[in-house]
Chain A
Amino acid sequence: MLALQILIDGFAISALYALGATGFTLIFGVSGVLNLSHGALMAMAAITAWAVADMVGGNAYVGAAAGVIAALICAFVTFRLIVRPIQNSRAIPGEEKEIFVLTGTLLWGIMIQEALAYLFTNTPKTVRPLIEGVVSIAGVRVPYNEVLTTAISWAAIGLLWLLVNRTRMGKRLLAASMNPRGLTLLGHELSSIYLLVWAIYGILAGIAGVLLGAFLGVSSDNAGTLTASAFSIVVLGGLGSVSGSLIAAFVVGYLETITAYLISPTIRTVPVLLLLVVVVYVRPQGLLGRR
């Protein structure tokens, strides 16, 4: 029974982690940015969903939509006002740009986190689930919400896969992650590609944030841990590899769930951290990383 519980909960958490991490990896692969405001973005999406749902008299769908839109806007702001100016800055030498972008996104993340805490306090908020109720799967009681989370996560990832592999736009995205210069030589403006990537990232992170808010509840304090999680998953899977992130998300999701159930919920992040240390020493490029 416990095993089944772990299996199901682990699956749901992993799917959610996969969704969050995929966006993070995509941004790194195409735009070259490790966005340290990722967790804050997700938290913001969740809290916006919660707040808006309340404002419109309890409509969960409107709230969720608002959360995703907020994330989309925030992603654009992150790109246009912070990342791009630093990348194009002539006052920063090339090899230090990465560090400045990291620090810049870190500061931006802190700003978002503090703004959320100021406006909404840092008590955890639970986003109203889209579907109430519980279902029984092979004798285990699972909230519909959890099933929905898993389904939506996979649907989003699936749509992304379709986009990248079956549409012209998606092919350009993929090409940009492999060879931006090659793409420019073929007459495609990289600036539009970057806008698209950040838009997709905003939507994915927004959905992930809203779902997380409904599943586990989110407070502004979680921003840092969420970023750390995404970061760990992406490094384990290999910076820049989306399939690597997917696999790593499951490894991390299950590792955390098993630890939480079998040992103690308070140390659920520790085995993952230890795994991270091992990976960084033994195989720094991660499972499927290329760079």
Chain B
Amino acid sequence: MSALLEVQGLGKRFGGLVAAKDISFSIQPGEILGLIGPNGSGKSTVMKCIMGIERPNAGSVKIAGTEVAGWAPHRIARQGVGIVFQHARPLQRQTILEHIILALLPDNLFMLRTNHEVRRRAEEIATRVGLAGVMHRLPRTLPFADLRRLELAKAIARNPQVVLVDEPFAGLTAAEVADFSKLIGSFRADGHAVLLVDHNVKGVAALVDRVFAMYLGERIAEGSATKVMQNETVRRVYLGGKIETAARPEREGKGRTPLLEVRNLGVLYGKATALDDVNIHIGEGEFVSVVGLNGAGKTTLFNAISGLVPHNGTINWKGQSLAHQTPAAIARNGIVQCPETRELFGDMSVRENLDLGGQHLTKEQSDKQLEWLFGLFPILKSRQGQASRTLSGGEQQMLAIARALMMQPKLLILDEPTLGLAPVILEQLSKAMETLRQTTDITVLLGEQNVTFALPHADRVYVLEHTRIVWEGDPGRFAAEAGAGYL
């Protein structure tokens, strides 16, 4: 039987950045393929190229034998491809049924009436995805899971040969994931070829027939879910290497005084669940790592602590609730975050960035702090006058951390500092972390996907998986208890 979706040698670059290189795979009717990779791996680019939202620079995309690479998206859609976007927004004044009717409409300028056929078919589809009871309601009144079903309904409305789903379970609670999974699984029986694009294998493992793993635009593994999860390269990419447990020196008195306490934390983005009943605590002087894959919720957790997103539950700092403080006030009170996106002032020099961090100090304090930081990150001293947007990735990360340290934080939050950095830079960062731990009594909360980086420095580890904390304990026990199931 010939493949419904056949991708050959697909390549796409954005200026100098190669987003995808020589990607080839095919999907048979009734087959579900998982396209996985961490942030920046190129999986979204590949999906967009298949749908026509981006034009590939090289390679071919065939839908049931017809070459569609380079076509406009609406033509590709009519050729037989449906897509479920991660961040779709429904129209507010139309009912669920009307949304599905929209998906069934021909691209006709003169369609002034719909006929009974279309309406009947729309009702059928609504029932197929489990929306029969709510099809006459407005999106505003429905929970997130139903809105995702609506997106699925729109994608399969015209019975496309290929269905693309971007991050199928993002925003759903653990219970909703199971239901949704079953629904997607039922597409097999209809003979569709399904491509699921996601961050991690584990989340889609039960659902997919095969997995195609990407990293930095290239294929790194292909095969059954179990095989891919055990693949050396894949584990290194996600975990950073072998999880080694070395004996670590005990630190006198660490963790005695409670500093940060997070209880029953829940965060919603609109209706999507980002965090569900999260509890963590950090004591003074501790180094706590929160490990989890992209999309698990680490950034959301940190943003909630820093006051950048509204949340349910309580967050107490030194015994007092952070509920009514502005994010800037929280930072001034000692919780300083160095975010994943670094948020540097690109057109300002390294020195200016650092000075901005030190504006709360007197001139002398600021100078002293600066000197200490230049000792910790010598490269910053030599690049003082350079505009920060011209620095390399690793240098920018060091600048971001140094700038945060200028604030003399009591708790330093680091969100994925190793993202996209070369191993040699990771070494330097690791050393800097170690020096920090040993020469100061700073408390650190580190969020990482790269377990190899996160474990050696940590006093305690939390594992965050799809909105919930699933494990807490000593790094020594991590490999034994949580490591195997991590991926």
Asked if A and B form a direct contact in the complex, defined as CB atoms under 8 angstroms apart, the reply is yes
Chain A interface residues toward B at CB < 8 A: 168, 171-172, 174-175, 178-179, 181-190
Q: Is the CB of A187 within 8 A of B328?
A: yes
Q: Does B357 reach chain A (CB closer than 8 Å)?
A: yes
How many angstroms from the CA of A181 to the CA of B75 in the assembled complex?
Answer: 40
Q: Is the CB of B326 within 8 A of A185?
A: no
Q: Is the CB of A182 within 8 A of B343?
A: yes
Closest B residue to A169 by beta carbon equals B359
Q: Is the CB of A185 within 8 A of B306?
A: yes
Quick one: which of A175, A179, A189 contacts B328, CB cutoff 8 A? A189
CB-CB under 8 A from A183, the residues of chain B are 356
Interface size on B, residues (CB 8 A): 26
13 intermolecular pairs with C-beta atoms under 8 Å apart: A175-B348, A178-B345, A184-B331, A185-B306, A186-B331, A186-B403, A187-B328, A187-B329, A187-B336, A188-B328, A188-B359, A189-B328, A189-B329
How many angstroms from the CA of A186 to the CA of B400 in the assembled complex?
Answer: 11
Chain B 330-348, CB-CB to A under 8 Å as 1, else 0, gives 0110001101000111111
CB-CB under 8 A from B359, the residues of chain A are 168, 171-172, 186, 188
Quick one: which of B326, B337, B355, B357 contacts A189, CB cutoff 8 A? B326
CB-CB under 8 A from A174, the residues of chain B are 345, 348
CB-CB under 8 A from B240, the residues of chain A are none
How many angstroms from the CA of A179 to the CA of B343 in the assembled complex?
Answer: 7
How many angstroms from the CA of A185 to the CA of B329 in the assembled complex?
Answer: 9
Considering residues A178, A179, A186, which has the most beta carbons from chain B within 10 angstroms of its beta carbon? A186
How many angstroms from the CA of A174 to the CA of B344 in the assembled complex?
Answer: 12
Quick one: which of A168, A178, A181, A190 contacts B347, CB cutoff 8 A? A178
* Further contacts, 5 of them, CB under 8 A, given A179-B346, A184-B327, A189-B328: A174-B345, A184-B308, A184-B328, A186-B328, A186-B403
CB-CB under 8 A from B331, the residues of chain A are 184-187
Q: Is the CB of B348 within 8 A of A185?
A: no
CB-CB under 8 A from A189, the residues of chain B are 326, 328-329
Q: Is the CB of A181 within 8 A of B326?
A: no
Nearest CB of B to A100, in Å:
17
List 9 tightest A-B contacts by C-beta distance, closest first.
Answer: A182-B343, A187-B331, A187-B332, A189-B328, A178-B345, A184-B327, A175-B345, A184-B328, A187-B328
Q: Is the CB of A171 within 8 A of B343?
A: no
Nearest CB of A to B300, in Å:
15
Quick one: which of A171, A181, A190 contacts B356, CB cutoff 8 A? A171
How many angstroms from the CA of A190 to the CA of B332 in the assembled complex?
Answer: 13
How many angstroms from the CA of A108 to the CA of B419 in the assembled complex?
Answer: 47
Nearest CB of A to B6, in Å:
37
Q: Does B172 reach chain A (CB closer than 8 Å)?
A: no
A contacts with B: majority SS: helix
Q: Is the CB of A185 within 8 A of B343?
A: yes
Chain B interface residues toward A at CB < 8 A: 306, 308, 326-329, 331-332, 336-337, 339, 343-348, 352, 355-357, 359-360, 403-404, 407
Considering residues A175, A181, A182, which has the most beta carbons from chain B within 10 angstroms of its beta carbon? A182
Q: Is the CB of A179 within 8 A of B407?
A: no
CB-CB under 8 A from A171, the residues of chain B are 348, 352, 355-356, 359
Nearest CB of A to B328, in Å:
5
How many angstroms from the CA of A168 to the CA of B356 in the assembled complex?
Answer: 8
CB-CB under 8 A from B339, the residues of chain A are 185
Quick one: which of B343, B345, B346, B407 contacts A187, CB cutoff 8 A? B407
How many angstroms from the CA of A176 to the CA of B352 in the assembled complex?
Answer: 13
Q: Is the CB of A178 within 8 A of B346?
A: yes
How many angstroms from the CA of A175 to the CA of B345 in the assembled complex?
Answer: 6
Q: Is the CB of B348 within 8 A of A187?
A: no
Closest B residue to A180 by beta carbon equals B343
CB-CB under 8 A from A182, the residues of chain B are 343-345
Quick one: which of A181, A184, A186 contacts B357, CB cutoff 8 A? A186
Nearest CB of B to A288, in Å:
12
Nearest CB of A to B21, in Å:
30
CB-CB under 8 A from B345, the residues of chain A are 174-175, 178-179, 182
How many angstroms from the CA of A281 to the CA of B360 in the assembled complex?
Answer: 46
How many angstroms from the CA of A1 to the CA of B76 in the assembled complex?
Answer: 67
CB-CB under 8 A from B326, the residues of chain A are 184, 189
Closest A residue to B403 by beta carbon equals A186
How many angstroms from the CA of A183 to the CA of B332 in the assembled complex?
Answer: 12
CB-CB under 8 A from A168, the residues of chain B are 359
CB-CB under 8 A from A184, the residues of chain B are 308, 326-328, 331
Q: Is the CB of B407 within 8 A of A186?
A: yes
How many angstroms from the CA of A64 to the CA of B95 in the assembled complex?
Answer: 60
Nearest CB of A to B52, in Å:
24
Nearest CB of B to A241, in Å:
11
Nearest CB of A to B336, in Å:
7
How many angstroms from the CA of A134 to the CA of B336 in the assembled complex?
Answer: 60
CB-CB under 8 A from A179, the residues of chain B are 343-346
How many angstroms from the CA of A211 to the CA of B404 in the assembled complex?
Answer: 45
How many angstroms from the CA of A125 to the CA of B393 in the assembled complex?
Answer: 58
Considering residues B344, B345, B404, which has the most beta carbons from chain A within 10 angstroms of its beta carbon? B345
Closest B residue to A189 by beta carbon equals B328
CB-CB under 8 A from B352, the residues of chain A are 171
CB-CB under 8 A from A190, the residues of chain B are 328
Nearest CB of A to B9, in Å:
35
How many angstroms from the CA of A182 to the CA of B337 in the assembled complex?
Answer: 10
Nearest CB of B to A142, in Å:
39
Nearest CB of B to A180, in Å:
9
How many angstroms from the CA of A187 to the CA of B407 in the assembled complex?
Answer: 8
How many angstroms from the CA of A186 to the CA of B360 in the assembled complex?
Answer: 9
Nearest CB of A to B246, in Å:
33
Quick one: which of A172, A178, A185 contacts B327, CB cutoff 8 A? A185
How many angstroms from the CA of A174 to the CA of B353 in the assembled complex?
Answer: 11
Q: Is the CB of B356 within 8 A of A172?
A: yes
Nearest CB of B to A81, in Å:
22
Quick one: which of A175, A185, A188 contacts B337, CB cutoff 8 A? A185
Nearest CB of A to B398, in Å:
16
CB-CB under 8 A from B355, the residues of chain A are 171
Nearest CB of A to B264, in Å:
25
